[in-house]
Every structure is written in C-alpha cells, then in structure tokens.
Amino acid sequence: MEYITLGRTGLKVSVAGLGCGGFSRLGLGTGKSEAEAVALVRQALDLGVNMLDTAAVYGTESIVGEAIRAVPRENLVIATKAWIPRREGRSAARRAVQSLDHSLKQLGTDYIDIFQLHGVSPGAYGQARDIIAPALLKEREKGKFKFLGATETGSCDPEHEMVRLAVEDDLWDTVMVAFHMMHQNARSRVFPLTIANRVGTLLMFAVRNIFSKPERLATALHELSANGKLPRWLAETPNPLGFLIHEGGARTITEAAYRFVRHEPGVDVVLFGTGEPRHLRENIASILAPPLPPANRQTLAKLFGRLVGVGLDPPYSMPGRGSS
C-alpha cells in the first residue's frame, strides 16, 4: 500500500480508501450478510487500507465498528458523515451534533478522524458554514472528532460550486469531490484551489456504473453524440474505450478508470466500493498501478475533457438525488 499526507490534517492515509456506501454498501446492497461485510472490511485492513469512509445514511457504521474493534485505533483513519436537510433551518446544528454522537456509538470509537457534512448543495452551503459548522467545532473541542469536511452533491453540482466556496473559507480540512475519465472539470475548477489551500481531497465516482456496466456507457455515449458533444463514431464503435486496453496500458476499463484518477495532481485518496473479496483486491491493485501512458491520457482529455456532469449516478437512497 502507498500512503499520503491528507492536506493540512497531517493524517497519513492510504491512497486507496474503502468507501462503505455507494451501490454495494460493503455487499449489503447485493444481499451479503453483515458478517460477510465485516470480513470484507477486515480484509481491506489486512491489505493496508487504513482509510474507511462511511456515513450515517449508509447503514454501515456498525459494520465498520465491529470490523475495527480489535484494531489499534491509532492505526486507522475513520471518516463518516451527517446529512442535514436544508429545510432544518436553525435546528440543523442540533441535528448535526446528534448525528455525530450517534455515529460515535455506532462506530464504537471515542473519536472520529474526519466528520463530514454529507452532500452539501451550493444552496445549502450558507447553512453549513454559518449554522452547522460553529456547533460542530464546539464538539471538536470536546475531542469528539479531529477534522471537519464537506462532500459535494455530485450530480446536482457538476460545476463544483459548493467545493469552490468551501476551500476558500478555511473551515473545512477535507472535501469530497467527483472526478473521472468523462467528468474532468475538477482538474481546473477544484484541484488548484485545494492544493493552494492545503485542503485534503477524497475522490468519489472514479468508476461507478458508467465504467463498470457497458450498457450504461453505451447509453451515455449515444446521448452525448446525439447532442453533438461527442463524435458519432465513438457511440457506434463496439468497444469505444478499447484504446485503453493494450500492452503497457490497462487490462480492463475499470483499471484504467482508477489509474486515471489516482495520479491526477490534487487527488489524495481514491475511494472505491465493493462487496466482493476478489473485487476488493483488484480495485486496490488498480489504484496502486502506474499512471496511464501519456498518449492515453491525451486521448481521454481530447475526447472527454469538455464534458461536465456525465456518469454521476448516485444510489437512490443517498444524498445527491435532490438539491436539499
């Protein structure tokens, strides 16, 4: 495993971070048992992953808590999230503190390394900054968590407006950002700001459905070509991303997707989700693989560099499907 310092936090984190939500939810989303999910987290730890990212809404905090019970706490970096609907108004601060306390109990830990506000839309950012953050910082003084973070809404904020506000405010130690082969605008809109302000980045949407499900990619390419955003030949070719698979290149599209994001300047941790031990090992190996060949990166930039908001499909039960 490789490790990196996460922005100004000073935390030494694995470049591969186990995401405990998404469509798989450690396998719970595909019918696996809680015992199997616990075993999966422990396998990730055995492979050197020390960064675990969960959330109250995922329903996996107790799984993580069970998995880490026998692990020295100082060897782990635990991140979780609280989703506070915008309609909460002034009660949002109380709700956030209640969520923090509940997460501590579910995780079975005395402190959380990174406590994040989950799926903050641009319209809700003022509430997060002015109402919720001050209340949480008081809880931080009590030792309940170490660093404060915010995650964007992905599909509802493809231009990263919330993150661009957050990184300038000096409140947030980390941000979670969407970036992948067909949604590259964080390269110019986010990463120069996070680097300059030493804000740690947790990367989401590296793969999701658009690269793991060929039919989803095909549908997206046809829609984009019909709208004049991509050349028609790309939608009509049987294997549109086949140029990435070659000797010295990637073995699979999923591997290419992870390698593309992992070596982007400004990316600290690449989050991945899984419910299968084999898939777990493959994802980690892909994240640890070398950068894609320069020619392949240039082709990806030429074909997809101007696209915005493609492939940001959130799970139906997760924040991000609405703007509240």
**Catalytic positions, please?**
58
Q: What gap in Å lies between CA 179 and CA 190, rounded to an integer?
A: 10
Confirm if 80 and 57 have CB atoms less than 8 A apart: no
Confirm if 168 and 193 have CB atoms less than 8 A apart: yes
Q: What gap in Å lies between CA 31 and CA 85, rounded to an integer?
A: 29
Confirm if 142 and 104 have CB atoms less than 8 A apart: no
Quickly tell me which residue has 């509940």 as its tokens. 102
Q: What gap in Å lies between CA 134 and CA 100, rounded to an integer?
A: 14
Parallel/antiparallel/unpaired status of strands 12-14 and 3-5: antiparallel
Name, in order, each residue with C-beta under 8 angstroms of 79's C-beta and a sequence gap of 6 or more. Answer: 51, 52, 53, 54, 112, 113, 114, 115, 116, 149, 174, 202
Confirm if 56 and 82 have CB atoms less than 8 A apart: yes
For CA atoms 311, 312, 318, 324, the dihedral sign is: negative
Quickly tell me which residue has 């506070």 as its tokens. 84
Residue 180 pairs with which residues in a beta bridge? Answer: 183
